[in-house]
Amino acid sequence: MSEPHTIPRVLAELPDLLRTDRFGRKLRWHSSIGSTNAQAMTWAQDGVPEGALVGADHQTAGRGRHRRAWSDAPELNLLFSLVLRPTLPQDRLGLIPLAAGLAVAEAIENHTPLSPSLKWPNDILVNGKKVCGILLEGRLTGSNDSLATMVLGIGFNINQTELPADLADKATSLALETGQLVPRAPLLADLLVALEKHYDSLSTDLGVAVLAGFERRMAGLGHTATVAFPLSGESTEGTILGIAENGALRLATSEGERLFHSGEVSLRNSVRQVD
């Protein structure tokens, strides 16, 4: 399948497709930018309201968790960041990436015949390969660690059909998996509706609905997994039990159940998965 010569700019189409109350109503879209997360944080500090969106057709300094680089092909994917001002208790902020992952999965299901799975805490997989990643960054201020600002970044491989050699066995795109191009703006409009719904639900039920939806699609549930910490070299093996009410990973180990709020999860070969 050859790459398209042109794909309509999301900026021109998205405003007429939006059905949200807040998400995407304030919008900046760039042909090229260093990092959407960095610009969204700057915009947030200027007082922009929650739901403001910074997107780009290409990032020159995109990044994922642990400062890993995120590469993309111009005008083929969805790269955007949302300004959030959550009122959740601090110990529930880990639910936000789960809500975002669930929203991405639902958008994929609505626009393709694919059945995505969710790898805790921030990856969306299709046929065991990563199609989307999520990065949540924020700043806490005040004596009670009240939240001032958070930025949710999403990098979503849509119509890119050529991937770097070192990622070809780990990453994919919707076009690669379906054999068809997927219009970006309608997909983003649906994603934002789902994301706003799930994000708002965190304030009403403290994550009950999001956790249920995430676990239904959770990669590795009931299987053996290793949680590793690359900086320290430490790792723990056990069976994935699900997600705790605060968004932590529940792992049954030889020493009993443990909760993990961070770490790199990989699964045994019995379950197709990426590290």
The set of residues, in sequence order, having a beta carbon less than 8 Å from that of 258 and lying 6+ positions away, is 236, 238, 250, 251
Name the percent of the chain lying above pLDDT 90.
74
- The torsion angle over the Cα atoms of residues 212, 215, 216 and 217, rounded to 10 degrees, is 130
pLDDT of 101 strictly over 60: yes
Give the right CATH number for 10-216 from 3.30.565.10, 3.40.190.10, 3.30.930.10, 2.60.40.10: 3.30.930.10
For the chain, domain boundaries: 10-216, 224-267
**What is the predicted pLDDT for the residue at 9?**
74
**What is the predicted pLDDT for the residue at 140?**
64
**What is the predicted pLDDT for the residue at 268?**
73
pLDDT band, residue 71 (cuts 50/70/90): low
* Phi, psi (rounded to 5 degrees) for 113: -85, 10
**What is the predicted pLDDT for the residue at 70?**
53
pLDDT of 143 strictly over 70: no
Residue 89: is the preceding peptide bond cis (ω within 30°)? no
The C-alpha atoms of residue 26 and residue 51 are separated, in whole angstroms, by 7
Q: What is the mean pLDDT of residues 67-88?
A: 83
Overall CATH class of domain 224-267: mainly beta
Would the CATH topology of 10-216 be identical to that of 224-267?
no
Q: 125, 101 in Cβ contact below 8 A?
A: no
Q: Pick the range with the lowest mean pLDDT from 18-32, 134-148, 187-201, 215-229.
A: 134-148
**What is the predicted pLDDT for the residue at 121?**
93
Name the one residue in this structure whose structure tokens are 């969805």.
78
The residue that leads in pLDDT, 239 or 89, is 239
pLDDT in tens, 215-247: 999 999 999 999 999 888 899 999 999 999 999
Name the percent of the chain lying above pLDDT 70.
87
